[in-house]
Structures are given as structure tokens and as C-alpha cells.
Amino acid sequence: MSYFLTDEQEHELNLFLDEENRDICRLQLESDDVPEELKEIIRSTIEAGSPIPAFNPIHGYYSISFTPCEEGNRIYAHHHLSNKSKSLCDPSKIIDQLDDLLNTNTEQVEEPIDSEDISNEPTSNFIDYIEDINPEKLTVDDIESMFGPPPEEMVTFDQN
């Protein structure tokens, strides 16, 4: 079985590793436990613009996990030297966020809404909904069922 990262996920991984590697390299250069030969190698990687900390090549310094779930793969990177993890893709978090958003948006309003308070501006959720619609495939009935009939002044014709 093979797993791959998308370009965006690989970019996120590289940003995560660069940030963690810089921190670990700094700590290793300050440490009395790291031999001077390794410190020279660490310095050279920093000078080259790609800081790589000293690590045991048998174990590596990071890992990527692909965990299948109902909505796809949960993909996490773990930096073994800093002991930090980063989500590169987690469909379960997205589902949780959507559930939270739906629950937040469906709360009942206790106070009556005055018609003067209603804005004609679309909400961001409405805009997201609109962007998912393919206008080329909409019929007049579809438009009326989603948005209601057009204003009367738009449908009356001048008979002159």
C-alpha cells in the first residue's frame, strides 16, 4: 500500500520541519552534550539554509502517519526531537468543525428580530453556498425554489 502527500501537504510538512529543526539546532548548538564535530555539521546545514539537527539515522528525526478513517486519511507529521506533531490533513477535525458551525448557526434566537435589523448583505455561509452552485445548470424553477420569485417590478412588461 502506498501513501502520498499532495503538494500543499508537502509544503506544510516542510514549513513544520524547518521551524522545528531551527529550534532543535539552536538547542543542540547550546548544549554541552553534543560533540563539537556534530555542531560543525549542524552549523553547516544552518549556513546552507536548511537546518538539520543531529539525529540517529537508524531512527530518523520525523515520521508521517497515515491513519485511515471514514472520511479519508488522517495525516500527521511528528518531529521526534522536539516531540511535536502537526496535522497535515485531518478529515475528522473538519467534520467536527462543520458540526460546531452547524450547531452554532442553528441556535434559536430568543428575541424577536425587527425587520429594520435585517441586512440585505449575504452572509459568508450564503456566499459559500452560492459558489457551489453551477449557474449553467439552473432552471428558472430551481432559482425560484432557492431564492423566491423575482420582484414584481422586474417581471412586469411595458406593453407599449
More confident residue, 39 or 97: 39
Find the range with the poorest average confidence among 27-31, 33-37, 111-115, 123-127.
123-127
Q: What value does the mean pLDDT take over residues 146-159?
A: 60
What would the pLDDT profile of 64-91 be if each residue is shown by its tens digit? 999 888 878 889 999 999 999 999 988 8
**Beta-bridge partners for 84:** 79
Residues 6+ apart with CB under 8 A from 81: 20, 24, 53, 55, 61
| Highest mean predicted confidence (pLDDT) among 37-46, 64-73, 100-109, 123-132 | 37-46
Residue of 3, 46, 4, 48 whose CA lies nearest to 25: 46
What is the model's pTM?
A: 0.56
Is it the case that residue 122 has pLDDT exceeding 60?
no
Would you list the domain boundaries of the chain? 7-91
At 153 the pLDDT is: 59
* Rounded-to-integer distance, Cα 21 and Cα 62, Å: 10
Find the range with the poorest average confidence among 8-17, 27-36, 99-108, 120-129.
120-129
- pLDDT band at residue 35 using 50, 70 and 90 as cut-offs: very high
Q: 20 near 28, Cβ under 8 Å?
A: no
- pLDDT band at residue 132 using 50, 70 and 90 as cut-offs: low
